[in-house]
């Protein structure tokens, strides 16, 4: 073997040794190695921020927050026609001046974001940490006109972006 070829092999061996040493140092000094294993901070509630794949995975109950009779039944029928699982509609104890109030718990944070898109992001999200059910309550208000179309829902979802973690929670 010629001297040039021997010198090239030595240089490659030294470079490989340096690369292996660099990787070893990086792994040893890594401070994020246990970040995923730490989980939620003490006292934090785990929430489901995943958006549902299909509407039949979401349970809704519509409450009439207006003085208009039958509003909850009308909105409930619209959601049912879009494939959502519907609970029996009812009247709300409180009246709502806005488009809607969307009440949800830890199990439905992602689904509530999707439902907000049906109101073009104008529905007020109201997280209730003590809620144990997977049903989302929607209190329809005076400013409600109609649900968004599929295209409008998709555009609204893009504008709303990913669901935000409520205070005192962490993603499941």
Write down the pLDDT at residue 128.
94
| Residue 22 vs residue 147, higher pLDDT | 147
What's the CA gap between 134 and 108, in Å, rounded? 6
Q: Tens digit of pLDDT for each residue in 40-71?
A: 788 888 899 999 999 999 999 999 999 999 99
Q: State the pTM of this model.
A: 0.75
Q: Tens digit of pLDDT for each residue in 117-158?
A: 999 999 999 999 999 999 999 999 999 999 999 999 999 999
What's the CA gap between 133 and 49, in Å, rounded? 15
Query: What residue ranges do the domains of the chain occupy?
Result: 3-38, 46-171
Write down the pLDDT at residue 60.
97
Spell out the alpha helix ranges (H) of 48-171. 71-81, 109-118, 150-160
How many Cβ atoms from other residues are within 10 Å of residue 90's Cβ?
Answer: 14
CB distance 72 to 116 below 8 Å: no
- For 84, phi then psi, to 5°, come to -80, 150
For residue 172, is pLDDT > 80?
no
Structure tokens at 145: 């006109």
- For 37, phi then psi, to 5°, come to -80, -15
| Residue-level length of the chain | 172
């Amino acid at each position: 073997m010629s001297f040039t070829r021997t010198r090239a092999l030595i240089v490659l061996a030294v470079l490989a040794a340096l690369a292996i040493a660099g990787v070893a140092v990086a792994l040893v000094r890594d401070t994020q190695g246990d970040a995923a294993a730490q989980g939620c901070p003490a006292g934090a509630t785990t929430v489901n921020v995943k958006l549902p794949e299909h509407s039949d995975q979401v349970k809704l109950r519509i409450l009439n927050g207006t003085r208009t009779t039958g509003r909850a039944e009308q909105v409930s029928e619209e959601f049912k026609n879009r494939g959502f699982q519907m609970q029996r509609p009812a009247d709300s104890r409180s009246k709502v001046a806005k488009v809607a109030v969307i009440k949800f718990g830890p199990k439905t944070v992602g689904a509530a974001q999707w439902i907000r898109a049906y109101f073009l992001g104008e529905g007020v999200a109201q997280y209730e940490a003590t809620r144990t059910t997977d049903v989302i309550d929607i209190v329809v208000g005076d400013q409600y006109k109609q649900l968004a179309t599929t295209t409008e829902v998709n555009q609204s979802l893009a504008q709303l972006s990913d669901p935000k973690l409520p205070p005192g929670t962490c993603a499941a």
